[in-house]
Amino acid sequence: MAEHLIEGMVNALSSLPGIGRKSAYRISFHLLRQDPAVFNGFVQSLSEVKGRIRFCSRCGSYSEEEICDLCLSEKRDSHTVCVVEQPEDVFFIENTGEFKGRYHVLNGVISPLEGVGPQDLRIRELLNRIEPEDLKEVLVATNPTLEGDATADYLNHQLKNFNVTVTRIAYGITVGGSIELADQYTLGRAIRSRLKL
């Protein structure tokens, strides 16, 4: 029987975020039913992307080159930088079409329980960009979690030594959502982040 081989495939797929064992089984069987040429093309595509993608030496986002297109673009606001936790956050913010500045990826958040301190993040690299790039605003876009908030507070404290405005993305109740469905933490943050009409 090929059960142990299928189980190995399921284990590999279920290690991916958001894929449970049930989904991993469905994906595994789907891949096994595919024409070998289609399957091999899929595997080759993944391998090629993994081999060509690297991290931008300036902002830390995904790039094919030493410095990414967003950092090199003269159409971007070079005086504003958005600080995010992970490289994929850049893509999500870019998809809104609302932010026109540059980025800086921390590669995580401060999390004492997981043994991650400020020295483990790309904070020093951010501070080293302030004066040479003549940054005027640092928009902190860490997630609205305890760790994300702690990281934002730490960054705010570190940036007080520079002549730069520090802002934070607003967050609260989802558009189209209702107050009764919002959790206490989200509702509290929405109240503290209220805007003047």
pLDDT at 183: 75
Domain for residue 173, yes or no? no
Beta strand 62-63 with 54-55 is: antiparallel
Which CATH number is 160's domain given? Answer: 3.40.1360.10
Q: Which helix (H) or strand (E) holds 153?
A: helix 146-159
Q: Which helix (H) or strand (E) holds 127?
A: helix 123-130
Domain for residue 196, yes or no? no
Place of tokens 């894929």: 19
176: left (phi over 0), alpha (psi -120 to 50) or beta: left
- Six-digit token pair at 182? 């919002």
Domain for residue 102, yes or no? yes
| Position 193 confidence tier, pLDDT thresholds 50, 70, 90 | confident
**How far is 86 from 90, CA to CA, in rounded Å?**
8
pLDDT at 55: 95
pLDDT at 27: 93
Mean pLDDT across 185-190: 75
pLDDT digits (tens, 9 = 90+) for 39-91: 899 899 989 999 999 999 999 999 999 999 999 999 999 999 999 999 999 99
| Mean confidence (pLDDT) of the chain | 90
Residues of the chain with pLDDT > 90, as a percent, come to: 71
- Residue 48 shares a structural domain with residue 126: no
Structurally, how many domains does the chain consist of? 2
Which CATH number is 26's domain given? Answer: 1.10.8.420
> 149 with 157: CB under 8 angstroms?
no
Does pLDDT of 196 surpass 70?
no
**In sequence order, what are the beta bridge partners of 142?**
none
| Position 188 confidence tier, pLDDT thresholds 50, 70, 90 | confident
Domain for residue 58, yes or no? no
> 139 with 126: CB under 8 angstroms?
no
pLDDT digits (tens, 9 = 90+) for 119-163: 999 999 999 999 999 999 999 999 888 899 999 999 999 999 899
Q: Which helix (H) or strand (E) holds 105?
A: strand 101-105
Total-model pTM: 0.80
Q: Residue length, the chain?
A: 197
